[in-house]
Amino acid sequence: MSTQPVEIKILDRFVRVNCPPGQEQALKEAASEFDQRLQQLAERTKVTNTEQLIAIAALNVCHELNEAKQSLVDVQDQVKQRSALMVSKLDTAMATQGPRK
């Protein structure tokens, strides 16, 4: 799969990143969001060390990802439970109907 270099800006520094064709805009949007997070984090924490800021931001993103994954698992469990309940109710309703002629 071919890639092409795309220039993004993070903390007022330009970085060239290889990107699959057609994904340039998504990469730029992700970089912009990451840069905004870093800027906000720097303002909130008063941390000026770039490596430390990036590490904290990465941990925050991983924490959010883990929460989203858990939320998805919870929703999937609810769907399974509700589906099982619906099947059970349908089975009960069909059993009380008796045989069809």
What is the average pLDDT value for the chain, to the nearest integer? 94
Q: What CATH number is attached to the domain comprising 16?
A: 3.30.160.880
Digit-coded pLDDT (tens) for 23-42: 999 999 999 999 999 999 99
Q: Provide the β-strand partners of residue 6.
A: 17
> What DSSP string runs through 47-93?
---HHHHHHHHHHHHHHHHHHHHHHHHHHHHHHHHHHHHHHHHHHHH
In this prediction, residue 36 carries a pLDDT of 95
Q: How many angstroms separate the Cα of 48 from the Cα of each of 11, 38, 41, 44, 54?
A: 11, 10, 10, 11, 11
Residue 5 phi, psi (nearest 5): -75, 140
CA dist 80 and 87 (Å) reads: 11
- Counting as low any pLDDT under 70, the low residues of the chain are 1, 98, 100-101
* Residue 64, domain extent: 4-97
In this prediction, residue 97 carries a pLDDT of 86
Number of domains composing the chain: 1
